[in-house]
Amino acid sequence: MSAEHTAECRRCRELDLDEAEARRERDGSRATDCRVLRRRHLAAEHGERAA
């Protein structure tokens, strides 16, 4: 799936926003969790493989 489609995905946006908030709050553990969840979501819902 293209970057266009992931940009339109509500869950992708939610995870990105959650990660940004965690970084603003200097919560590295939560930011990492968001990145892991986003990668899992991309693989499951968008068919993207981890780099």
Q: What is the pLDDT of residue 3?
A: 57
**pLDDT value for 1:** 46
**Is 48 strand, coil or helix?**
coil
* Separation in Å, CA 29 to CA 18, 36, 37, 39, 48: 12, 11, 12, 16, 24
Greater pLDDT, 5 or 42: 42
13-51 confidence digits (pLDDT tens): 999 999 999 999 999 999 999 999 999 999 999 888 766
The per-residue pLDDT for 27 is 98
* Structure confidence at residue 49 (pLDDT): 78
